């Protein structure tokens, strides 16, 4: 049952990673699997060959918490391959409710993470401000255009996976900035093995290297790192704001026109400028649903903590 729950948490991470602006790392943090995830990945290093040589493959598999990692990444891959089309369709046809749900989810995740900080100081507040500024700066960057080549898929995988496990920064949004998001999503939808292998190879390299850095920072400078990550999460809320006006468009790999640059509007300005319904009641309901989801996960996490202590 515990492994199945871990698998579901992995699916939640994968679902978040598909949406530009939402971080799978945030989901990992609020569901309580970020630390064991980083710890398991961190143990995949050259010393693992010594464990295999002296104790065998089974001992090495348990040394890296293999069952846990298989469930997490199995859940992530399940979501990416099964939910990519659904989430793409929802974002295209019902953007305001979808973005409102994730806005509420991220907003309450900030509250959840602040509770994990033991005490505040000027340095931690400064790191928080730096995190907000850095994330906000990323969200207003103009996307670049990278060609969908095998080498670009590899490097996009390295960069995106670092963001995917980092709470606050969306891996899919980084792909969007690189101009690779439509190509990667299309490869996932069409199950293009060659491109997916290149992307997966980049992800493996980025994951095995960056996990060491993030794990060390959380161990040695837990509160300071957390404040910076909270700033990252808060700084990306502008990207997730539900009411947007498209300023410029781009042509995707299928020849379809999709938004490139957007600006945020108030719900009422959105209705005036676009002529579309602001759906404010539905948006609030979806935001509350996102908040309730994080709150529920927090309660479940606290119950597990109480039982294990």
The pTM assigned to this predicted structure is 0.74
Residue 114 CB coordination number (10 Å):
13
Please choose, from the candidates 208, 23, 233, the residue with its C-alpha nearest in 3D space to the C-alpha of residue 134: 233
Residue appearing with tokens 């790191």: 127
Residue 115, judged by CB atoms within 10 A of its CB (0-12, 13-18, 19+), counts as exposed
What is the Cα–Cα distance from 220 to 173, expressed in whole angstroms?
A: 29
Radius of gyration of the chain (CA): 20
pLDDT in tens, 176-226: 777 787 788 778 777 888 999 999 999 889 888 888 888 888 889 989 998
User: Which residue pairs from 206-211 have beta carbons closer than 8 angstroms and sit at least 24 positions apart in sequence?
Assistant: 206/157, 206/158, 206/159, 206/160, 206/161, 206/162, 207/41, 207/161, 207/162, 207/165, 208/41, 208/44, 208/45, 210/161, 210/162, 210/165, 210/166, 211/38, 211/41, 211/42, 211/165
Q: What pLDDT score does 251 carry?
A: 63
- Say what the pLDDT of residue 143 is: 63
Chain segment 136-151, per-residue pLDDT in tens? 887 777 666 677 788 9
Mean pLDDT of the chain: 83
Please write the tens of the pLDDT for every residue from 220-263. Answer: 998 999 899 889 888 878 878 899 887 777 665 556 666 667 78
* pLDDT at residue 280, rounded to an integer: 93
Residue 97, pLDDT score: 93
Q: Which pLDDT band, with edges at 50, 70 and 90, does 82 fall under?
A: confident
Distance CA 66, CA 254 (A): 39
Report residue 123 CA to chain centroid gap: 26
Res. 129 pLDDT band, cuts 50 70 90: very high
Higher pLDDT, 211 or 121: 121
């Amino acid at each position: 049952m515990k492994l199945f729950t871990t698998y579901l948490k992995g699916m939640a991470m994968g679902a978040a990673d598909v949406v530009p602006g939402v971080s799978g790392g945030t989901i990992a943090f609020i569901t309580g699997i970020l630390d064991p995830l980083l710890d398991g990945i961190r143990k995949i290093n050259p010393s693992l060959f010594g464990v295999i040589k002296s104790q065998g493959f089974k001992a090495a598999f348990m040394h890296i918490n293999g069952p846990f990692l298989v469930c997490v990444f199995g859940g992530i891959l399940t979501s990416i391959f099964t939910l990519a089309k659904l989430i793409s369709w929802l974002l295209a046809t019902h953007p305001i409710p979808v973005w409102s749900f994730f806005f509420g989810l991220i907003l309450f995740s900030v509250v959840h993470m602040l509770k994990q900080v033991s005490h505040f100081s000027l340095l931690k507040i400064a790191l928080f401000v730096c995190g907000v500024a850095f994330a906000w700066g990323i969200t207003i960057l103009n996307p670049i255009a990278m060609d969908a080549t095998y080498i670009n898929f590899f490097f996009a995988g390295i960069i995106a996976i670092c963001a995917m496990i980092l709470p606050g920064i969306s891996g899919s949004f980084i792909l969007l900035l690189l101009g690779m998001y439509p190509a990667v999503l299309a490869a996932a939808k069409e199950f293009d093995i060659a491109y997916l292998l290149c992307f997966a190879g980049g992800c493996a390299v980025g994951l095995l290297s960056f996990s060491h850095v993030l794990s060390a920072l959380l161990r040695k400078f837990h509160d300071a790192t957390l404040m910076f990550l909270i700033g990252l999460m808060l700084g990306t809320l502008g990207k997730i704001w539900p009411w947007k006006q498209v300023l410029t468009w781009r042509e995707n790999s299928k020849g379809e026109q999709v938004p490139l640059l957007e600006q945020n509007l108030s719900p009422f300005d959105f209705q005036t400028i676009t002529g579309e319904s602001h759906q404010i009641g539905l948006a609030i309901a979806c935001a509350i649903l996102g908040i309730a989801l994080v709150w529920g996960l927090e309660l479940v996490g606290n119950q597990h903590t109480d039982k294990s202590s």
